[in-house]
Structure 1
């Protein structure tokens, strides 16, 4: 994390991420967890040379970022959500064929649905 002063407003801006392609979950979803001390976001880190995003968690008190998913080709950029407390992450793989649920407390990932070839 780094901060800087906005030249137009004079307000301090706290930049949470840098370098990689990063974005919030979706404009209708809240990236913040209850308590506003942690967020989830999607990022291309640490593989700049590959397409695809994975889920990441950031502790806003200390700035520590933790990768939550490690899907080889990434997750769908429009098929993901989380519970308000951040306990569960639900996402679709990038190929749009597998729906998964990740329990962030236990690290267990369950396949909820997998599309098979017709």
Structure 2
């Protein structure tokens, strides 16, 4: 199943990185029926009304150039979840273009969560 790199990467060169190639390969190897079913499920999945039920400290990472899941979606999550913080990165979907920034934020978030419990 071919996928469009422009949907996942704001910078076309990201598709030539190790992570970019791995993502595209994973997409291409996915069972088409399973992938389509997953897309249908995600399209119908709307839990915005239940965001207030999340009580764990939450880190939301959003790509400023993400066309698959626009940054407005990340803002909705942060607005609906108490104790949520938002990290925006200059990237497309999944922050593959800025893995070190995403990883550093996740490590810091998990470290704070571990020390607060």
Q: TM-score, normalised by structure 2?
A: 0.25
Structure having the larger proportion of residues in strand = 1
Structure having the larger proportion of residues in helix = 2
Q: TM-score, normalised by structure 1?
A: 0.25
